[in-house]
């Protein structure tokens, strides 16, 4: 994902993604930055970085627990400060939510009131969740 003229990727540094690899396209240099370090120790899956609201977002998912997807926004790029902003109950996805990892693949740029597209780690299941009403609006498979 691109932000501040840099490319960003999650880097696996343990059981969950906690570090973001950054490539500065102007300086042509790599560096790392802190990921959303408050990911739950119990998170089974972490998703790709996505652009939303002019910043970066990341998600984590606990399939073994209560099937909750946590969504984090990068609030301050220079300070590498992330904020936990949404808790998505994945029950609306059905039994599949307990056996597969899900992550946020896209979020509408509606300042917190829009929809989030959830995608399974295998890529063939999906669901739409409205962040304002906190309701699942549909799920399916491709």
pTM for the structure as a whole: 0.75
Give the pLDDT of the chain (142 residues) as one tens digit per residue: 899 999 998 876 665 557 889 999 999 999 999 887 554 545 555 667 888 878 898 887 766 666 778 888 899 999 999 888 888 877 777 766 666 667 777 777 655 567 888 877 776 778 888 888 888 877 777 6
In a domain, 130, yes or no: yes
In a domain, 26, yes or no: no
Instruction: Please count the structural domains in the chain.
Output: 1
In a domain, 33, yes or no: no
In a domain, 109, yes or no: yes
In a domain, 129, yes or no: yes
Distance, in Å, from the CA atom of 43 to the CA atom of 57, rounded to the nearest integer, reads 16
Residue range of the domain that includes 96? 43-141
H-helix or E-strand containing 118? strand 115-120
Phi and psi of 139, rounded to 5°? -150, 165
In a domain, 117, yes or no: yes
């Amino acid at each position: 994902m691109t932000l501040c003229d840099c490319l960003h990727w999650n880097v696996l540094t343990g059981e969950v993604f906690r570090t973001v690899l950054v490539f500065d396209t102007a300086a042509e240099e790599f560096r790392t930055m802190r990921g959303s370090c408050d990911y739950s120790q119990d998170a089974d899956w972490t998703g790709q970085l996505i652009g939303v609201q002019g910043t970066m977002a990341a998600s984590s998912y606990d399939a073994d627990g209560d099937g909750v997807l946590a969504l984090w926004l990068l609030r301050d790029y220079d300070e590498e400060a992330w904020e936990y902003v949404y808790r998505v109950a994945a029950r609306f996805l059905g039994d599949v939510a307990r056996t597969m990892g899900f992550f946020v693949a896209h979020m509408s740029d509606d300042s917190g009131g829009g929809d989030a597209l959830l995608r399974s780690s295998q890529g063939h299941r999906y669901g739409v969740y409205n962040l304002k009403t906190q309701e699942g609006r549909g799920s399916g498979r491709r």
